Structure 1
Amino acid sequence: MKLENPWRQNPWFESVAVAQARARKRLPAPVYGALVAGSERGQSVEDNEAAFAELGLAPHVVGQQPVRTMDTTVFGQHIGLPVIFSPTGVQAVHPDGEVAVARAAAARNTIMGLSNFASKSVEDVTATGATTFFQMYWTGDQDTMVQRMQRAHEAGSKGLIATLDWSFSMGRDWGSPEIPEKVDLKAMVRLAPKVVTKPRWMWQFGQQYRQTGKLPDLSAPNLAPPGGEAPTFFGAYYEWMTTPPPTWDDVAWMRDTWKQISGTPFVLKGVCRIDDARRAVDVGVDGISVSNHGGNNLDGTPAAIRMVRPIAQTVGHQIDVVMDGGVRRGSDVVKALALGAKAVLIGRAYLWGLAANGQAGVENVLDVMSGGIDSALRGLALSSTTELRHAHLLVPADFDRALGAVADASVAP
């Protein structure tokens, strides 16, 4: 007997803001809190979004193009629109998690970034047909990292994204959301008062349990050793915290090792400084993501969009530069591209879509982005996103943040 969902509603939403509102209404407070929280006072989270509002567009009254395209090539991949899914950790806002996101990526012809802290295996994600870039932190010893690279390559990953700069500076002023070590009876009893008020979310996971007999899994399957069990999220987090941080020589080793294993692009995520961008080029990366990790890293780091132009002007002719942080609408994408980014990565935006309506909600977010990009191109009288330039924007004189323009000799390389 098939049970029908008694809480069905019109699944379509017209903006990421509506997706966020639906996610907040649907999700238990700790789960929603984990999506929106930034580190410390949340200064970088706020600036990521607010900075886009400081940029204006310069439209034409005549000359609009009847045909407009937004396909592009980035990191050697031809994609249908310049919006890529940023890798994010355990996506338990929906039972299908990263698999649903990957299916949406395949349906809209874009790149799926898969975190090695994901709740679904790299094999399950690549089986969707999505062009998948596997993301790795600098965790464990070199033999362990090689094993994880080999697994990602054998599963069909088309590139590697390295995230190396986590500061563990959290200390949120409003408190951190509770995340259980694992979902067992004890955790369910403890969290029941917060979960029972969200019947739609409970219904989704209840359907999964009826089909598979399994509760939501907060382990990290992509960190499992060969033949071994996957660590819990906090077990993986502990490995990350206790691994000595990398040097630029380590970055070069990671890049060279991935190239030997796979021969596909190596991307460094989290670049904020011009001098770091130059060093990244020197060690042979194929691309960088200008990012403060959604404001979840060192609070007080400027908005990613403020750092794009200085970095793109410096190394954009040598490697692909993308940006990640605060993108909520198609016009935000257009602004980032006009400042020199080849594409943008989105994180919270697609997670809200996933929470609101699963795979269809993620596709809906991409469609919102596409519609906004197309409208901006029409207003600017352009036929392609590849034609976007600085002249299409109104940029305040003090907007850019050129960090590391002059190397600070007191900072160790």
Structure 2
Amino acid sequence: MFNVSKIRVDFPILNRKVNGQPLVYLDNAATSQTPKQVIDAIVDYYSNYNANIHRGVHTLSQEATEKYEQARIKIQKHLNAAKPQEIIFTSGTTHSINLVASGFSFLLKKGDELIVSALEHHSNIVPWQMLCERTGAILKVIPMNEEGELLMDAYYTLLSDKTKLVFCNHVSNALGTVNPIKKIIDAAHKVGAAVLIDGAQAAPHIKADVQALDVDFYTVSAHKLCGPTGVGMLYGKEAWLNKLPPYQGGGEMIAEVTFEKTTYAELPHKFEAGTPNICGGIAFGVALDYMNAIGFDTIAVYEQELLDYATEQLLAIDGLRIYGPAKNKTSVISFNIAGIHPYDMGSILDKLGVAVRTGHHCAQPIMDFYKIPGTVRASFCFYNTKEEVDVLVAGVKRAISMLL
């Protein structure tokens, strides 16, 4: 049985008050909260075996190295990657995407085509625009509809033998839409294109199987699924990672260095220059252990209940519009009240202890599509409750009475 009250005990921050009110944290799409088990792992690292990895024969270094590489294996198994060396530790999804974009700058030529979806976060748009500027490649966009879903027929017509890379998020951070990534991947492969999937928003809700998806690259940030900030990972098929040149030069990523020539280390170290976020990587693995102990299927069922309940309660408010009511979505609701700026709504909710996100959510093209400056975004996690939804709804009604 899923016991949300018991789970909430694991998250110390949920006990605090904001502006004199109990915290209702509904900004999980920006970052999730951290359970005590992960916090304890961070404290344990710095208290007991803080040392640099892969470089020392002393005990602390060996202990840190073992824990760090165990975390890599945990991520590999979580995503069902074929080999541990297909998991590259990064500082997060943005770093991971830029790593791939940098590598493809050596593989593309003028006139090659890249395809991006209209639902992307800026971090899965801007690096590719920069890549096109460097190489002369052409960026094409899969359009979306009013429901916040991609127009797949339009996508199929964009594909050609000129298409070299397709990139798309698994889940929209702004709307919660779950994209049909298996169809996107399979169609791209038919024309010989590689596919990168931004899994940052999917990771807390969906346990991706990279081999079943047959995806070429998949990215995740730890802080989206109960881990620390400043660490993430890039999954890449071994063949693709071997094709790409190193992203950064420095220690750890070398095999041999002379002033005449440097040779590079084997995977995964080829892409892991310098001292990494050792503690973050270890804590990432602990966060995965925590969420897998609860069970992603269990999480999905509970979060769907929260989403359905919140959707019903919010739509009962006159003048409220939810953007992106896609048939398949995760626990994200982006909404506005006619005549009220989202920032004003968010500010009043904060005074009531309710943390939501307001603005364009680093997805400005989506807001331009709807011809709005931004939305109020409430995003739910497995530690949220229906009672917290009620607080949100009451807060929205109070804000309306104050602002209209």
Query: TM-score, normalization: structure 2?
Result: 0.32
Structure with greater contact order relative to length (CA < 8 Å, sep ≥ 6): 1
Larger Rg computed on CA atoms: 2
The two structures have a TM-score, normalised by structure 1, of 0.31
